[in-house]
Structure 1
Amino acid sequence: MAAASRSGGVVQEVAKLSVEQLQAVKEQIDAELSVLQDSVGSIRTAANRFEMAASALNNLSLQKEGQQMLVPLTASLYVPGVLENVDNVLVDVGTGYFIEKSLPEGKDYCDRKINFLKANHDKLVEVASEKRSAAEQVSLVLQAKMRSSAAPSEQ
């Protein structure tokens, strides 16, 4: 009930603005929406990377020491290597820092990061939805004002 009355109040406030002010508000909301959508995409990409890392850790736990494997240097360059330790992994904690953790701790780290990113993703999607609704309301009021200002000039 509070949201409905707040929404109605916003529409009344927006209706008091001039056409130029409405256009400025619409542009601002559209810019904010664009930033939010970029952030949602970035968070989704980061979550996918952590999910891939968690999957790699699960695969690593199935491997044996001394096994030959290809080690990725870049996305498209691999070199041959030998697996020496399946009990510990290096975890990238950002800005070029790595921490050695046990395999279960590494999995837990990835899972916590995935949960954190998904929670932020959900919040951003909700905020983006609210911004989209606000943009639609402003657009409707703007169209109505433009029609009403055009109607007297036609007569």
Structure 2
Amino acid sequence: MASRTLEIEKMSVEQLKALKEQADLEVNLLQDSLNNIRTATTRLEIASNALQDLSLRPQGKKMLVPLTASLYVPGTLDDADKVLVDVGTGYFVEKTMTEGKDYCERKINLLKSNYEQLLDVATKKKSVADETGLILQAKLRQLAQAQ
């Protein structure tokens, strides 16, 4: 880390500005990715909870079935052991209830692992951006004092 600071301190003001802009852009992109992973994880957790709730309901149970986030239609539970799992890009796969729950748990664990790795990268990139900003400010103050 100390060698990185020495390299950054040797840069010109223009180079520092470019490095700071690039690091800020990367931090923003990483933050967007982290938000997307968080959203996907939340959706999978909701789906997993819905599967758990569905598995406890008896066959023939009357219920409301969501068509959209705000539109529900009445329905009757036919077979709670078979579920359709959205595997992406409009493809659905029929699975047993246990397989559906397992699929959700595996995806949640994968997303959480990716989130942790991405968070580590984002933290390091944010550190570079902050460090570059401080050095840039110091150089700009030196230039202002020299004039």
Q: Indicate whether the TM-score tops 0.5.
A: yes
- Per the normalisation by structure 2, the TM-score is 0.98
Matched, 1:13 2:7: yes
* Structure 2 equivalent of residue 70 of structure 1: 64
Letter in 1 for 2:33: S
Letter in 1 for 2:109: N
Between 28-37 and 131-140, the greater mean CA deviation after superposition: 131-140
1:43-122 equivalence runs, <5 A:
43-122=37-116
Equivalent residues, number: 147
Unaligned runs of 5+ in 1: 1-6
Q: Distance in 2 between matches of 1:31 and 1:69?
A: 47
RMSD: 0.7
Q: Distance in 2 between matches of 1:136 and 1:32?
A: 13
Cα deviations across residues 16-50 of structure 1 (Å, max 9, x unaligned)? 11101101110000000000000000000000000
Unaligned runs of 5+ in 2: none
* Structure 1 counterpart SS, 2:11: coil
Letter in 2 for 1:20: E
Cα deviations across residues 111-142 of structure 1 (Å, max 9, x unaligned)? 00000000011111111110111111101111
Q: Percent identity, aligned pairs only? A: 56
Q: Distance in 2 between matches of 1:100 and 1:63?
A: 19
| CA drift at 1:152 | 1.4
* Structure 2 counterpart SS, 1:23: helix
* Structure 2 equivalent of residue 38 of structure 1: 32
Q: Distance in 2 between matches of 1:25 and 1:134?
A: 9
1:148 to 139, 142, 146: 142
* Structure 2 counterpart SS, 1:121: helix
- Per the normalisation by structure 1, the TM-score is 0.93
2:126 to 124, 127, 132: 132
Q: Distance in 2 between matches of 1:80 and 1:150?
A: 72
